[in-house]
Structure 1
Amino acid sequence: MPASNGARRHHSSALPLAWLAVSVVAYASLYPFTGWRWPADLSAWDLFVLPLPPWRYKFDIWANYLGYIPIAALVHAAGVRGGRRSAPCWLFAVTVISLLSFVMELTQQFLPLRFPSRLDWALNTAGAVAGATLSALALRLGWVDRWQQARDRWFIRRSGGALALLLAWPLGLLFPTPMPLGLGPSWARLQDGLMDLLVDVRGAEDLLAWLEASPPPVGQPSALPEALGIALGLLGPCLLAFVVTRPGWRRMAMALGAAVLGLTTTTLSAALNFGPVHALAWLTPVVAPACALGLLLAALLVRAPGSLAAVLGVATLSASLMLVAQAPSDPYFALSLQGWEQGRFIHFHGLAQWLGWLWPVAALLWLAAHLGSRDATGGA
């Protein structure tokens, strides 16, 4: 799709978000990546004839349709924001997303725990058509131009990566965290994962013995480390936002928005696990003062230079990762994990877990790259 002569290229967050969305689809479609085998009684040609499902749950139908709408919208928007015409971008988005869905359904036939379906492919394609059409309609109505004008007032150039990370942050909070707003792996989860990886590795006996002799902390977390972890868990994304947000009241609005979004997402996660009655089960006496501390620290930095916000962001995220890793596993955390791993979220818990684990690392890498760019040294 060549760029049109009159189209203008923008550094858009739609492109990294589109790649993130495609990665999410691939991961969720093929999880748990175990038990690969050639499907019995199927020839190579029969693989391309997807079966119809023996059941049709309303949740699955709506999830397969609605889930592909934002993906196609992002792909279309990324093409248009890159300077290409809308009509070819629409055709490209629908074709590529439909092909992606077909490949995922085709590959699921090699996984015994997944159920490929011709209906899912049709619903995914319909969602792609709807998403690309909505994106084209937003372009026609001028909403994209209004968004660009607002973005130019709020954010610096080359802010797409940071904005994509900020949009992904609440998704990581959907998976149960060792402490509220504390993204990153706990030592117990890291230990289990490392031991599973090393159990059959020759020469790793000493490392396995050390891991077994290093039990994770248990019991209720003490108030001070928990409060500090919650405050830093909120301050980290605020500082990431400050790096790309113009100084002043806009940064404070971003910090307040992060607090509301983080607490709302944590409440949603608890409600999905235990029901609406227990949506605030995670709210301990430490949470409110800790969030207030995080917002206070953010308020003191609303006029800090972007380079200083990036340096403090690296330090904040590093400290938050260490606190989360050392956090003891309390009964609420254990029950939350059980709800995700054995309940209705079994097909999504691996993806949500990895997103929650890797988000701080991705944010650290982005901040480090920003510090070495001309944007952090006075460039536009």
Structure 2
Amino acid sequence: MSLTVNRAGLGARRGDGPAGWLFTLPVIVVLGLFMLVPVLMALWVSFSDWTGRGSPLAPGTGFVGFENYAAITSGGGLAERNFGIAMRNNAWYALLVVPLQTGLSLGLALLVNRAVLRGRGFFRTAFYFPSVTSSVAITVLWLFLFSTSGAVNQVLSWIGVNGPNWFNEPAGIVHVALGNPEGPAFLTGSDFLGVSWWDWLSGPSVAMSALILMAVFTTSGTFMLLFLAALQNIGPELDEAGRMDGASAWQRFWRITLPQLRPALFTVLTLGLIGCWQVFDQIYTGTQGGPGKTTVTPAYLSYEAAFTDQAWGQGAAISFVLFAVIVVFTLFQRWVLRERDASKRVEKRIAKGAKA
């Protein structure tokens, strides 16, 4: 009897297969038409000499291999230098934004998760509000604050810092702090992607630093909610056990709370990293890459190469190089935050002890 029931249940599960595919077919078709097909066409454009007129699949479009990729990575011309500048700018952007927004969002989540805090709903709403505001509106307001007659310059003038054009300084903040020295020969004499290593180490410009602060201000609220949801899933008995063992507040956070936040931390770091390497609208509506290309990003450079310079192949190639960069960093991040198997470490220690 039990065998018959199991077979009947198995048959019913097999019969659900066609019905499941039927229900998911509309979504598959929509994603295929509006996501997969455009991506494949863009990939073809990156290997072609398409001029932007007509269909990329028209007979007149020729296959040029990796010429577009070579032009932006090893061509030795303006295309390579522009791509190198964009990668340097975005590297500093991601290097500063991801840790700052992660640390701030985690701190805010710990703050609003405290039971003794009065008005927690108000603070949660206040911290999250910048995340739901239009990025274009925030960018315009932010640039107004940093303009020549803006509030930032007015406050700086009160403390004796008079320099209304400091926002237009093209040098990096590291070079500005050092007095814009020429740099050693071993750093200025060699380059990567058409940009000298001395310029790679210059840091973000003042304008890019302002955009970095704006990104941290507008995104921390969203990631605060992710951390807050993870914190509320941690049982209070773990913290109580730490208190009974005499652990300090920092020890309880580092040894108990933070390991429990590993999945949320991976999500926040991954989303933050992807968002940093895809920054476009703030540049397009704000600085247009200025001053002196110090706020150009690969996403904006891809748009400019394709729609302004009509170099559609190079624009598509920049996009796919950027995609590869995001995938590599995401995989590396996943490897760093992976779950370590404690039993395997114990076995390795026992094996080493037995050999000794």
What TM-score results when the alignment is normalised by the length of structure 2? 0.27
Which structure would you say has the larger Rg?
2
Q: Which has the higher helix share?
A: 2
Bigger relative contact order, structure 1 or 2, given CA contacts below 8 A and separation 6+? 2
What TM-score results when the alignment is normalised by the length of structure 1? 0.25
